[in-house]
């Protein structure tokens, strides 16, 4: 897996190779960033943003944001093997100064460790995990978001209706499942 753009463009990142995780494919990541960078509907820019990468795995989303000029990326991943790969990726890319990693359940981290505001949120839960609706409630309850924000969720397409109580949906894009 490679970084698509920015100061780290072309550099490789490792990822967890098992049946439980699905790394964010380069083509999907490129599509996400094209929307973030070029959509007239999105006022938040990656440069100087604060990123919260939940279910971060190897950190490809947050690392791509760092490469494109994000001020800071905060990663939350409960799997220790994935967290160790993420740490190694950040060390190898010399990106530890503008990143923080929490190896814990997202709910615990949001409740106990996160006290800053973010303007770009990325959630890429396992397809069988529907807890991310509770995560949205926690984010809203703790008010850890800036006035203008973007929230990107990678999920199965059948669950769109449940989001309307939390979000104003401005764009949906189907990639694969």
Q: Is the pLDDT of residue 1 over 80?
A: yes
What confidence tens digit (pLDDT) does each residue in 5-49 have? 999 999 999 988 766 666 777 777 888 888 888 888 788 889 999
pTM tops 0.85, yes or no: yes
What order do you get walking across the sheet with 145-153 strand by strand?
A: 99-102, 72-76, 50-54, 118-123, 145-153
Domain that holds residue 79: 26-155
Alpha helix (H) ranges present in the chain? 26-38, 60-67, 80-92, 106-112, 132-142
- For residue range 107-118, what is the model confidence (pLDDT) as tens digits? 999 999 999 999
158: which residues sit within 8 A by CB, 6+ positions away?
A: none
pLDDT at 163: 65
Residue 168 lies in a domain: no
| Residue at 9 is within a domain | no
CATH number at residue 43: 3.40.50.150
In a domain, 94, yes or no: yes
Residue 65: inside a domain, yes or no? yes
What's the total number of domains in the chain? Answer: 1
Cα distance between residue 174 and residue 154, in whole Å:
9
Does the structure show a pLDDT above 80 at 95?
A: yes
Q: pLDDT: is 56 or 35 the higher one?
A: 56
The answer to whether residue 167 is domain-embedded is no
């Amino acid at each position: 897996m490679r970084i698509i753009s920015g100061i780290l463009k072309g550099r490789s990142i490792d990822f967890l190779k098992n049946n439980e995780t699905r790394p964010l494919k380069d083509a999907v990541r490129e599509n996400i960033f094209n929307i973030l960078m070029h959509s007239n509907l999105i006022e938040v820019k990656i440069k100087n943003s604060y990123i919260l990468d939940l279910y971060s795995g190897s950190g490809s989303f947050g690392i791509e944001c760092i490469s494109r000029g994000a001020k800071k990326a905060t990663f939350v991943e409960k799997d220790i093997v994935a967290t160790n790969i993420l740490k190694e990726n950040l060390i190898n890319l010399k990106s530890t100064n503008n990143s923080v990693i929490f190896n814990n359940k997202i709910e615990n981290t949001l409740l106990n460790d996160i006290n800053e505001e973010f303007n770009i949120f990325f959630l890429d839960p396992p397809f069988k995990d529907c807890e991310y609706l509770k995560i949205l409630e926690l984010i809203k309850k703790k008010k850890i978001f800036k006035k203008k924000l973007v929230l990107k969720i990678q999920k199965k397409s059948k669950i769109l209706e449940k989001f309307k109580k939390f979000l104003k949906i401005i764009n949906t894009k189907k990639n694969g499942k």
